Structure 1
Amino acid sequence: MESWLKSCGAKGLDDLKLADFPGTGRGVKTLRSFKQGDTILTIPSDVLWTVDHAYADPVLGPVLRSVQPPLSTEDILALYLLFVRSREGDWMYDGLQSHIAALPTSYSSSVFFDEEELEVCAGSSLYTVTKQLQQLLVDDYRALVVRVLGPHPQLFPLDKFTLDDYIWALCTVWSRSMDFALPEGKSIRLVAPFADMLNHSSEVKQCHVYDPKSGNLSILAGKDYKAGDQAFINYGPIPNNRLLRLYGFVIPGNPHDSYDLVLATHSPAPRFEEKQKLWPKAGLESTSTIALTLTDPLPRSVLRYLRIQRLSEADLAAVKLQKANVADEQISKSNESEVLQFLVESLTGILDGFGIQLERLEEQLAKDFYPVGSNSWAAAHVSLGEQRILRLSRKRAQYLLTVVDSGKDGKAGAQSTASKACAYCGQESSQLMVCGRCKSVAYCGRQCQVAHYKNGHKAVCKAPASGKTEVE
């Protein structure tokens, strides 16, 4: 592959080498030192796997262009990979075939987990999405046979375009493609030979760059490297549930873990048409997916959505008179109490649905019950991260519920809770920092204090009559 890339104008290959590394497997090794920001590799446009190149192929292109409606970007790239792989002995594709020969023959994405491995994360969003995806892949392949493969058996012999081949090609696209925003709101997805061998590290800065003018892909040094180091790229702040589904690995203790909370309301619901007009004004839709994270376990958008969903006739009339952002603040005590009670109950139901509860998972991982690096081990870390976030979300909702039910701007409830747990994340501690203004709530750290102030406490935070007036 390297000799072909050099002949096509790739730069930097003399300073890099494919190698096997403990923990990450196949990766890219530096043969000399680099300073952060140095260009270490450039792959020319002509050898990139892109939709435009697939359409431009003299054999495959006419077939792809004839399919209406057009295939998805993922399907086009997957078919392109399989088509080139099937053209063994055709000199036109020798270079691209050398890249395919360097690709893994199998992947560790969650779609390949057996039932026992997947059951470790039962109840998680990954479990649900993976189950749906496994069926969707079968359905999509059948549709592809009808629309493309079947009508052109000479180009697509089914023994080389099986369901397993299709899933392999899609996993190649998922795990190795790069996406870039282009001018005028356009975008491009590409797979770059050799550059796709670089592994992910959150310790380096994002360092892959696409030049829209030349069409070339460049990799910069995301940090200083010495000769012999492994070079990395940064995929971005991706949670473990997505890392395992798309890339086939997890990061223990991933700070970017999240849980996608799906909020949906259907047309038979009371006053649905009126509420449907309010959600967009709050930046939401009747079905909204909102990410719960470690740093923001209960985003304001969740409360905005549910305040609208739970509007009574009287509340709805009051909202229509408001000039402020729709549902950005408490609408009424009864509405807020109903919303928070519903949240607590719903989050409890989600948590109860996990097959292996948090404490048991922590114990199993601590005792190496799952072999490190195995599919079950990876699934356990996904479940662990999601349950931690959901518990923080529930604690946050429970705290807010005590504030609402306490009355008097919630100060009594806040005082009784503050001495035991962080007012934002719910973390229990004997050493909490008290809000310097209202003295009514306390936090486990500055990060939670700032987040809480921005996400609701600002509206109720008032200095005592004889107290100071510092802002948080």
Structure 2
Amino acid sequence: MLLKPLRRFRTIWAYAVSLLAYHLMASAAAMGTAFVTHLLLTSRRHHHAPIRPSSIMQQPRRLTPTVSMSVSSSRAAALDSFKQWLANKGVKSDSVSVDVKPSDVAGLGLICTKPIKRGEAAASVPMSLSITKESATQTPMREHLEGAMSDNSEMAMLALYLLYEKSKGDASEIAPWLAVLPTKDELNNPILWSDGERAELARSTTKAISTWLEERSLEFMRLQRRVMEKHPNVFDPATFTLENYQWAMAVVTSRSFFVDSRLRMTPLVDFVNHDPAANVEPDGAPMGFLGSSRGVRLRADRDYAVGDEFRVSYGPERSAVEFLQMFGFIPEYAPSSCEIEMSIREADSFFDDKEDILVNNEFRTLSQVWDLQADKDPDPTLLQFLRLREIGQKDAFILEPLFRGEVWYHMSLPFSPANEGDALKVLEDECVRLLTSFTSDDETDRRILAGSSPEASERQKLMARVRVSEKAALQSTIEWCESEALGLRLKEYYQERRLKLLNLDGPLTDDEVYADDDFERLGSRGMSGGQ
């Protein structure tokens, strides 16, 4: 009975051993200079023709179109060194089907050197080559940064790590990678814009982008004063400057991805460009023999031919200004959306009750921000919040402790005609206010985007695109509020729902109808009973 399983086990074991031997021999043959030679030759075969200009408003890109991205001889040499560095770090030829070359869109991208089928990996890079927040904590910076950063964000730590390695020059282990990262002039992130341009952008969006930009700079200046100036042997003063930090932040925000619950910036992967039609992002996957290690993978969501540019999605739900903030461009398909902030008024007679209800439902603050999108209904939680906000004296009974555990649920549905009308009016009025806060009218923005204003810079065109996108979302929400207000009489409210629950919403039965003499008779009985 046991002979057949034993024989099967021995057969499987022999097959596994032979497979291991074959793999090791094949790997040994493939190692060495094969991958390096392949990359160098494919790079040199390209004549580095200048990128054809195209509008940043119409094509997805990472870089500004005002920058010429034709590859100079020095950049070509740096790319060759970078590719050899990748090979030396274990990026094998059988795990890469793309090469870093000039992109037809803009800048550099990943061009397919082999046919790639849907579902196959275009590249897999060992996760050990990624830089993360932990990379910074493994340097001498750690003891000085602990407790000194009020915003110990992953992005900030990655940016500081880039500067630390940059300060080491050629001695840095990632020097070949640093040498091929885009320069400040090749990036278009708002953190690198002038103060005047950032101020104009702040007036072009409902998003608090200016606050985010200011906080990044202030955080660095605090660190500079409290830590860096006291330890110049660790924080090289020539490298750790505000201008360089802003460059590093622009690099990190535009070239890193969340993979396996970590923000990672990965060599080679960071060259992949955005495609609005793509539905995949870089992910983590096993790699190496029998999946013994883990890598950052670029997986194809369609078939690619040799010479095609391989692209992924940078995120389908980002708004126009979020794309601009993070990546320095706005894709054509970016959803028309904006932000709206609502809060509970401290002067509200029922402020304490409403605060308690929100806290019990895991709201951290009494001021909340929601996204509004064109041609989409507002977020249901926004309407819940507004109904609670507008509860007044007539409906205040629902705020009593008796209902405290269920009041938030009741706010998910229309509560009373007056309350629903007030909630819709608050939302509409705020949208109207935001519409009037923009610095330019619709006609001016249309002329800028149509190219009828030759004095408009590329960055002003981007800001016009942001305004048009956000105005569309606000106008759509206003129209939704007006439509809902016309149907207030058709909605079902709290009283009707309670009557239904108690089966008191139907017509009266004969047993429930009393004639006048019935009331007189009942009254006389009550009186006689009382005597």
TM-score over 0.5 for the alignment? yes
Equivalent residue for 1:167?
246
Q: Is 1:232 the counterpart of 2:316 in the alignment? A: no
Q: How does 1:4-43 map to 2 (within 5 A)?
A: 4-12=85-93, 15-43=97-125
TM-score, normalization by structure 2: 0.69
Cα deviation for residue 342 of structure 1 reads: 2.0
Equivalent residue for 2:324?
244
Count of residue pairs the alignment pairs up:
397
CA distance in 1, matches of 2:235, 2:351: 49
Equivalent residue for 2:84?
3
Cα deviation for residue 118 of structure 1 reads: 5.0
Equivalent residue for 1:139?
218
Cα deviation for residue 75 of structure 1 reads: 2.0
Equivalent residue for 2:350?
271
From 71, 76, 91, the equivalent of 2:157 is 76
Q: How does 1:363-402 map to 2 (within 5 A)?
A: 363-369=447-453, 374-402=458-486
Partner of 1:236, secondary structure, is coil
CA contact under 8 A between 2:202 and 2:209: conserved in structure 1? Answer: no
Equivalent residue for 2:131?
49
CA contact under 8 A between 1:119 and 1:355: conserved in structure 2? Answer: no
For residues 107-156 of structure 1, the C-alpha deviation after alignment (integer angstroms, 9 at most, x for no partner) is 21123334665566564436x63322343233111211134312311111
Equivalent residue for 1:149?
228
Amino acid at match of 1:302: L
CA distance in 2, matches of 1:370, 1:266: 46
Q: Which moved more, 1:354-363 or 1:27-36?
A: 354-363
1:77/1:348 Cα in 2 relative to 1: closer, same or farther (>3 Å)?
same
Q: Which runs of 5+ in 1 are unaligned?
A: 411-472
Q: Is 1:313 the counterpart of 2:397 in the alignment? A: no
Q: Is 1:103 the counterpart of 2:181 in the alignment? A: yes
Equivalent residue for 1:342?
426
Amino acid at match of 1:214: S
CA contact under 8 A between 2:204 and 2:463: conserved in structure 1? Answer: no
For residues 324-359 of structure 1, the C-alpha deviation after alignment (integer angstroms, 9 at most, x for no partner) is 713111111111222222222221111011112234
CA distance in 1, matches of 2:149, 2:208: 28
TM-score, normalization by structure 1: 0.77
Amino-acid identity (%):
21
For residues 146-193 of structure 1, the C-alpha deviation after alignment (integer angstroms, 9 at most, x for no partner) is 34312311111222111001111111111111113x5xxxx3111001
CA contact under 8 A between 2:344 and 2:366: conserved in structure 1? Answer: yes
CA contact under 8 A between 2:149 and 2:223: conserved in structure 1? Answer: no
CA contact under 8 A between 2:445 and 2:468: conserved in structure 1? Answer: yes
CA distance in 1, matches of 2:141, 2:200: 42
Q: Which runs of 5+ in 2 are unaligned?
A: 1-81, 287-291, 493-531
Equivalent residue for 1:468?
none
CA distance in 2, matches of 1:117, 1:11: 44
Q: Which moved more, 1:81-90 or 1:44-53?
A: 44-53
CA distance in 2, matches of 1:214, 1:63: 33
Cα deviation for residue 202 of structure 1 reads: 2.0
1:380/1:408 Cα in 2 relative to 1: closer, same or farther (>3 Å)?
closer
CA distance in 1, matches of 2:130, 2:213: 28
Larger radius of gyration: 2
1:373/1:243 Cα in 2 relative to 1: closer, same or farther (>3 Å)?
farther
CA contact under 8 A between 1:118 and 1:379: conserved in structure 2? Answer: no
Cα deviation for residue 87 of structure 1 reads: 0.3
Equivalent residue for 1:296?
376
